[in-house]
Structure 1
Amino acid sequence: MRKIVLPLLLAALAFTACHTDQKFEINGHVSDKNLDGEWVYLVPMENAPVERVDSTQLKNGSFSFKGKVEAPEIYIIRTRPFLRLSHQELLVVKEPGTLQVYLGANSKVAGTALNDSLQNWKVQKEIIDNKMLYLNQNLKNADAENQAKINAELDKLRAERANFSFQFVKNNQNNVVGKMVARIMKGAFTAEQRNELGIE
């Protein structure tokens, strides 16, 4: 009898562990704690009919989403449109594990390998984007000589952004984060980079 029960018990434990691993949890908070009652939405980046959109209300400046996940997928965490002026939308990977999310002027996520990787790419891209925004603002009032210098610096920053994104995609070609960044940034890649990545 013992020989039969033990394998059955081990199989049951393995089945339970497998299904437990497929649970996800997102714990978030917002920069403004006076928004209680406002809704936060978890929206698939692609294939987003109403029935696939999840929502929850803010309470004490916090929110959470829980559920099961069959395979990693990119989602957007967002508020209603007016609040997005102060609470930046955030791309997250819905995958097994627990995420910590902050929504504010510069939203961020942490907690799993894919989300940490996505956050690092976001931070690097925003650093370059902010430098380019500053230079573009100065470009408007610059004389011809300084315009040439600013445009040269902008070209360097564009190349830097494309190169680090290319390397990121190259290192993440087999996961949803790499595929998403490839779609977002492919227009910035050179023909050689697109060919190496196998994208059109």
Structure 2
Amino acid sequence: MWGSGVLVGGSGQAAVLALHRATPDEALRRRSSLLTLLEHVLLCYRLLLTSPIWVRYFLSMPGSFIPMSMAGFYFACKMHLVYNQMGMIFAAAGVACQSEALFGKYASSDEVMEVGNSCAICQENMEQPVKLSCNHIFCNGCILEWFERECTCPMCRAEIKPKGLTSHSDGTTGLLPQIF
């Protein structure tokens, strides 16, 4: 039963790769954010896939109190996992729609002018400037490329974490069976 979630995940990712042709660097990042969103949607689907089977199993057990309490406990645990996964989906959707930056927030033009319009990484005018939690500002493309190697600020080496979003940049799906 868990295998169908993996099959859907692979075919969904293949569809995104086929439909969203990437040419320049920005298009590659856009495709990566779409794949991350798809990955989190499919992980939520995998969480919900086995629920009816287990609830039916618990309720078919003899007796009334123990099976009902086991089904209730299972349902509470499953809803907690789904709630956490929905938070990841909303974070991934915010990044895919580019209303939020994956790391930090988009800097205003006043903040960019305050530090000079030059990115410390590429030494050119900033494109889509992002302000990190340590208040340093970089081009969105430059800082995303930097974070592929190291998750610290290039200026002060402060550890920077994404906004609660695990990025699956290679588009892989975990093959761990969905037992419960």
> TM-score, structure 1 length as denominator?
0.32
Which has the larger helix fraction? 2
Q: Which structure features the higher share of strand residues?
A: 1
Q: Which has the higher contact order (CA 8 A, sep 6+)?
A: 2
